């Protein structure tokens, strides 16, 4: 039975600001959008002042100042950096992690036999201790339930930031879901909420009890999926979220520690290729690429090192070719010999809609974007038709880390050779 955890930073942007600024720990804090236009984030104290979310600053500024509110411009570099650190700590607690947004990731906790509430407390405490960011952890038998648990863990104080719905009886779950507004259920948007309320569905419990066929006929397949998920039937698998993500992160833990630059380059190239594909699938390009590498923070007897490097692109891009080139550059500037690396991560930021590039005629390094675009669409087409990763960039390599990475912590000693799909397991005839 699948068990999902969702780890989500509390008022993430505001919390990032507070980490390095103790003078605001007990004050309301808000963060503004680009060009200081609107309020995009607020901590609990600021939220308590009144409905300020997404309001233009000039409308509420006087009000905020009366309450001694600290007001910040968006420090995107800081948030992205704190985000990578947070995701990397969280990811060390499970073999599979899906990074969903700048401050949220899912972990696959299936098959873990220990007390998950205690385990979630450990996650929460390690993030707090390591980088100073408060998080809440929600656990459930589906992603939608994990999201709901997270929401409730934040709302109901006595849960202390952790709620494991997977260990509760159906009655206890229903009791909790009856306290949650239907509009807060994952996947139920602002548009859908009034329509549901019109037909008497006000809470998450009401939606759980809705007839699934009725949901499909009168609303959509998506809503039917949500009804199933609330009933503990996992329909949304790992990494299947369709969203125009503001940030794309591709990362995995290695099956065995990586100790040489060559393997690390291949890993980073592979993650870059995966992230670039996501960019193209959602018809977007990015302006910034970051690479992060880290040793195993749970092995205190081993020398520890982690570092990251971000590079600003000259032009927005979604070309695997170009992004691999840039990620290699970033990796070279942080890689150090002599460590046993556990994990690498590639982060794409400043994501925008694909658009024709404004060509700078005076730039001597002008790349042939048309040629690159054609190459990438042929590449995507072949992989789509022929399945999976029929072709790939040589930089992604053919070495071992790929075969091993999903095996981390998994007992697959009896797995037969995958000679038809894995270079490393090709039959050798002498
Ligand atoms: Mg959050």
92 and 195 share one domain: no
156 and 291 share one domain: no
> What is the 180 CA–ligand 1 centroid distance (Å)?
17
pLDDT at position 401 is 47
Tokens coding 266 = 């291949």
pTM of the predicted model as reported, rounded to 2 decimal places: 0.69
> What is the 236 CA–ligand 1 centroid distance (Å)?
21
pLDDT at position 403 is 45
> What is the 8 CA–ligand 1 centroid distance (Å)?
5
Q: Which of 78, 393, 103, 67 is nearest to 246 (CA)?
A: 103
Q: What is the CATH number of the domain that holds 388?
A: 3.30.1490.100
Residue 376 has φ and ψ, to the nearest 5°, of: -70, -35
32 and 82 share one domain: yes
Cβ-proximal residues to 262 (8 Å cutoff; 6+ apart), any chain: 397, 399
Whether residue 213 lies inside any domain: the answer is yes
Cβ-proximal residues to 218 (8 Å cutoff; 6+ apart), any chain: none
Residue 175 structural domain: 168-242
> What is the 153 CA–ligand 1 centroid distance (Å)?
12
131 and 176 share one domain: no
392 and 259 share one domain: yes
> What is the 184 CA–ligand 1 centroid distance (Å)?
13
Whether residue 425 lies inside any domain: the answer is no
In angstroms, the CA 185 to CA 108 distance is 20
Whether residue 279 lies inside any domain: the answer is yes
Q: What is the CATH number of the domain that holds 127?
A: 3.30.70.270
Work out how many domains the chain is built from and give that number: 3
pLDDT at position 399 is 54
> What is the 30 CA–ligand 1 centroid distance (Å)?
14
Q: Which of 119, 121, 99 is nearest to 109 (CA)?
A: 119
Among 188, 212, 242, identify where a domain stops.
242
> What is the 83 CA–ligand 1 centroid distance (Å)?
11
> What is the 198 CA–ligand 1 centroid distance (Å)?
29
pLDDT at position 192 is 93
pLDDT at position 79 is 86
> What is the 58 CA–ligand 1 centroid distance (Å)?
25
> What is the 7 CA–ligand 1 centroid distance (Å)?
9
Among 138, 164, 190, identify where a domain stops.
164
pLDDT at position 20 is 82
Whether residue 376 lies inside any domain: the answer is yes
> What is the 159 CA–ligand 1 centroid distance (Å)?
17
185 and 224 share one domain: yes
> What is the 69 CA–ligand 1 centroid distance (Å)?
20
Whether residue 109 lies inside any domain: the answer is yes
80 and 22 share one domain: yes
> What is the 133 CA–ligand 1 centroid distance (Å)?
11
Question: How close are the terminal C-alpha atoms of the chain, in Å?
Answer: 44
237 and 252 share one domain: no
> What is the 134 CA–ligand 1 centroid distance (Å)?
10
65 and 147 share one domain: yes
> What is the 150 CA–ligand 1 centroid distance (Å)?
10
68 and 21 share one domain: yes
> What is the 9 CA–ligand 1 centroid distance (Å)?
4
pLDDT at position 137 is 98
> What is the 13 CA–ligand 1 centroid distance (Å)?
8
In angstroms, the CA 84 to CA 373 distance is 29
351 and 396 share one domain: yes
Whether residue 424 lies inside any domain: the answer is no
Cβ-proximal residues to 253 (8 Å cutoff; 6+ apart), any chain: 91, 92, 95, 342, 343, 405, 408
> What is the 10 CA–ligand 1 centroid distance (Å)?
5
> What is the 55 CA–ligand 1 centroid distance (Å)?
19
> What is the 251 CA–ligand 1 centroid distance (Å)?
20
195 and 113 share one domain: no
> What is the 175 CA–ligand 1 centroid distance (Å)?
24
Q: What is the CATH number of the domain that holds 215?
A: 1.10.150.20
> What is the 303 CA–ligand 1 centroid distance (Å)?
32
> What is the 41 CA–ligand 1 centroid distance (Å)?
10
> What is the 135 CA–ligand 1 centroid distance (Å)?
8
> What is the 11 CA–ligand 1 centroid distance (Å)?
5
> What is the 297 CA–ligand 1 centroid distance (Å)?
24
Whether residue 269 lies inside any domain: the answer is yes
> What is the 298 CA–ligand 1 centroid distance (Å)?
25
pLDDT means over runs of 10, the chain (430 residues): 95 91 90 83 89 85 92 84 88 87 91 92 95 96 97 92 97 97 93 95 98 95 96 86 67 85 92 92 90 87 90 91 95 95 88 71 60 84 79 75 39 43 54
Whether residue 412 lies inside any domain: the answer is no
pLDDT at position 417 is 46
> What is the 401 CA–ligand 1 centroid distance (Å)?
32
Among 114, 149, 164, identify where a domain stops.
164
Tokens coding 229 = 């998920």
What size, in residues, is the chain? Answer: 430
Contact 330, 310 (CB under 8 A): yes
């Amino acid at each position: 039975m699948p068990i999902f955890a969702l780890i989500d930073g509390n008022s993430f942007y505001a919390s990032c600001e507070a980490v390095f600024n103790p003078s605001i720990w007990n004050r309301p804090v808000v963060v503004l959008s680009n060009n200081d236009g609107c309020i995009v984030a607020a901590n609990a104290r600021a939220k308590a002042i009144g409905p300020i979310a997404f309001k233009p600053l000039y409308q509420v500024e006087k009000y905020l100042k009366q309450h001694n509110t600290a007001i910040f411009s968006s420090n995107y570099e800081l948030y992205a950096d704190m985000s990578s650190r947070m995701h990397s700590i969280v990811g060390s607690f499970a073999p599979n992690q899906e990074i969903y947004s700048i401050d949220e990731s899912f972990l696959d906790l299936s098959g873990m036999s220990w007390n998950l509430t205690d385990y979630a407390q450990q996650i929460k405490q390690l993030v707090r201790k390591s980088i100073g960011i408060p998080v809440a952890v929600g656990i459930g038998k589906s992603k939608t339930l994990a999201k709901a648990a997270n929401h409730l863990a934040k709302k109901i104080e006595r849960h202390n930031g952790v709620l494991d719905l997977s260990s509760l009886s159906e009655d206890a779950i229903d009791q909790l879901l009856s306290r949650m507004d239907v509009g807060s259920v994952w996947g139920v948007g602002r548009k859908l909420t009034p329509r549901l309320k019109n037909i008497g569905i006000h809470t998450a419990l009401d939606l759980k009890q809705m007839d699934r066929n009725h949901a499909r006929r009168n609303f959509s397949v998506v809503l039917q999926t949500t009804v199933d998920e609330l009933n503990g039937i996992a329909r949304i698998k790992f990494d299947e979220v369709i969203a125009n993500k503001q940030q794309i992160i591709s990362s995995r833990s290695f099956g065995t520690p990586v100790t040489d630059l060559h393997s690390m380059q291949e890993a980073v190239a592979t993650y870059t290729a995966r992230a670039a594909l996501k960019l193209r699938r959602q018809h977007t390009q990015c302006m910034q690429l970051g690479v992060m590498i880290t040793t195993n923070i749970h092995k205190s007897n081993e020398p520890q090192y982690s570092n990251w490097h971000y590079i600003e692109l000259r032009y927005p891009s979604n070309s695997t070719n170009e992004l691999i080139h840039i990620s290699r550059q970033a990796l070279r500037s942080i890689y150090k010999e002599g460590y046993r690396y556990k994990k690498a991560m590639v982060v794409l930021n400043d994501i925008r809609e694909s658009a024709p590039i404004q060509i700078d005629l005076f730039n001597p390094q002008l790349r042939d974007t048309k040629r690159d675009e054609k190459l990438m669409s042929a590449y995507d087409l072949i992989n789509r038709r022929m399945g999976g990763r029929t072709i790939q960039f040589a930089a992604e390599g053919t070495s071992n880390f790929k075969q091993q990475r999903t095996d981390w912590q998994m007992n697959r000693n009896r797995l037969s050779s995958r000679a038809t799909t894995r270079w490393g397991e090709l039959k050798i005839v002498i």
